[in-house]
Copies of this chain bind each other. A is one copy, B any other.
Amino acid sequence: GPKEQASDYANYFCSYASLYHQKQMLTDHRRMQAYYSAITDNAELFAGKRVLDVGTGSGILALWAAKAGASKVYAVEFTDMANHARRLVAKNGMEGVVEVIQCSVEDLKLDAKVDIIISEWMGYFLLRESMLDSLVRARDRWLVPGGLMFPSRCTMMWGLVNDEQDRLSKQQEYIRTMQDWYSFKGETKEFYGVDMTVLEAVYEEEQRGYYILSSFWAELDKGQVLGEPAVVQTFDMHTCTLEDVQGVDETNVSIPLEEDARVSGFAGWFTADFHGTEANPCPCPVTLSTGPENGYTHWGQQVFHLQVPHDVVGGGKVEGTIAVKRQKENVRLYDVHIKHKNVLPTGEDKSPLVSVKYAMP
């Protein structure tokens, strides 16, 4: 309802209204390089075309599209950042081409459809923030048949990792917070005559949720990834439906390891391709990867720590499933349900199947 939307918008858009936050994205050079190449190196696709930039923020992508030769760029932004984008566009001499429109893209009115949609909508582990919903709606409403999406395809990746130090320090913090609780309980009884025992389980659950059953942002080193990353799901931006982008149904993932290794957790990230379509491929295809093989991006990776690490025997594997579901209370956030077991080279289980639900905060 409108009340839910109001509080969603208040929470979600708040950070994007600050230039500080926009600058964090604008100084993410892998992100910038990928979009810049995708647009400028494929300028011939933009020449004379009508373009829509969904969530223009500072206006950067719209400006590049205009410089690449677009005849018209509609740059849509919900927050007051739209005013800054408008001024940036003017000062960079593209007032005649880029039209900044401040509204939710869901409320956009154009006189005709567009040939290309550009957008940087991706969140942690691709889906977080659920801005993809807005993109799909904009595409279904405003892209001509056969039009192009930039990016054209996005893939959720999954890897085994060893970051045992971080895993242990999170466990330590959890233990410390529970020790605090025990002193608190003692003091409250002694000084204030109230027995807090009945709330202990709730507190423990809350803290476990925070330290143990949540994923964490990390900038992993490529040496921390064990074996080959697996594809969880691929979204074709030209065809994916609102239903497709709700999340990921339970999907099998099995990652074999050639050598003995301690697996302390999983990591999720994404790649974004700028390839055009089969009918209209990009002359210079570009891929943006936010994986550990590639150095810093502001997305980093989401790490899901195991409660007990798997000591995998060389030739064995970690096998299981992953599902990614929207949280009921906040559709922009996700839970990641992981089932996993340690399998020996013989095919026998080295561990029972463990099933854990993590929140991605």
Contact = CB atoms under 8 A, between A and B. Distances in A.
Interface of A: 2-4, 6-7, 9-11, 18-20, 23, 26-27, 29, 32-33, 36, 58, 60, 63-64, 67, 84, 87-88, 90-92, 181, 184, 187-188, 191-199, 202-203, 206-207, 210
B199 A84 contact: yes
Nearest to A63: B194
15 contacts: A2-B2, A2-B3, A3-B3, A7-B11, A10-B11, A19-B203, A23-B203, A27-B184, A29-B191, A36-B192, A60-B192, A88-B196, A88-B199, A91-B197, A91-B198
Contacts of A184: 23, 26-27
Contacts of A32: 191-192
A87 B198 contact: yes
A229 to B, nearest CB: 29
A210 B195 CA distance: 42
Q: Which of A11, A19, A36, A195 gathers most chain B CB within 10 Å?
A: A19
Copies of this subunit? 2
Contact of A9 (B7, B20, B23): B7
A67 B193 contact: yes
A58 to B, nearest CB: 7
Given A10-B7, A26-B184, A184-B27, A88 B203 contact: no
Given A10-B7, A27-B184, A199-B84, A18 B194 contact: no
A87 B6 contact: no
Contacts of A191: 29, 32-33, 36
Nearest to A36: B192
A193 to B, nearest CB: 7
A193 B203 CA distance: 52
Contacts of A196: 88
Contacts of A203: 19-20, 23
Contacts of A207: 20
A199 B19 contact: yes
Contacts of A187: 27
A198 B191 CA distance: 60
Contacts of A194: 60, 63-64, 88, 92
Contacts of A91: 195, 197-198
Given A6-B7, A84-B199, 18 more contacts: A2-B2, A4-B6, A10-B10, A20-B203, A20-B207, A23-B181, A23-B203, A26-B188, A27-B184, A29-B191, A32-B191, A60-B192, A64-B192, A84-B202, A87-B198, A87-B199, A91-B195, A92-B195
A2 B4 CA distance: 10
Question: Max chain B CB contacts within 10 Å: which of A181, A188, A192?
Answer: A192
